[in-house]
Amino acid sequence: MSEYIFSIVLTIHVLVGLCVIGLVLMQHGKGADAGAAFGGGASGSVFGASGSANFLSRTTGILATVFFLTSLGLSYIASNRPAAPTSVMEQAVPAPTPAPAAPTPDAKPAETPPGDDSKAGAIPK
């Protein structure tokens, strides 16, 4: 489920980023105002003489906010993912280890034979 949400948020993030780039490129710079004062043709546009500047700047601000929120969302989703294995050996399932044999209650520890001079029996266990 997390992979599905990550893909959706990433797709929205890329599309919003491309839209922000397009809107910034469509906006006029500050030097374009002087050309419009001498009949630059901005008064005949769809948005009116100054309507396009307000519409484009407001839309750019909204899309920049959405871009910021999707960036935060992507970082949150990526930080909560489980760690991926770094090697093939980490992906392998370990073989089950046999359980040690339980000592029986009547079994006694092995004693050293009476003629043995070694100190093996003197070592505490």
Q: What's the pLDDT at 48?
A: 58
**More confident of the two residues 123 and 89:** 89
Contact predicate 23/60, CB 8 Å: yes
- Residue 4, pLDDT above cutoff 80: yes
Among 68, 64, 51, 71, smallest CA distance to 24 is for 64
Cα(75)–Cα(71) distance, integer angstroms: 6
List the single range of 14-18, 29-33, 85-89, 91-95 with lowest mean pLDDT.
Answer: 29-33
Cα(23)–Cα(17) distance, integer angstroms: 10
Q: What's the pLDDT at 55?
A: 86
Over residues 67-113, the pLDDT tens digits come to: 999 999 999 998 887 776 677 776 776 667 777 777 666 666 666 55
Chain-wide mean pLDDT for the chain? 76
The structural domains of the chain, with segments of one domain joined by +, span: 1-30+52-81
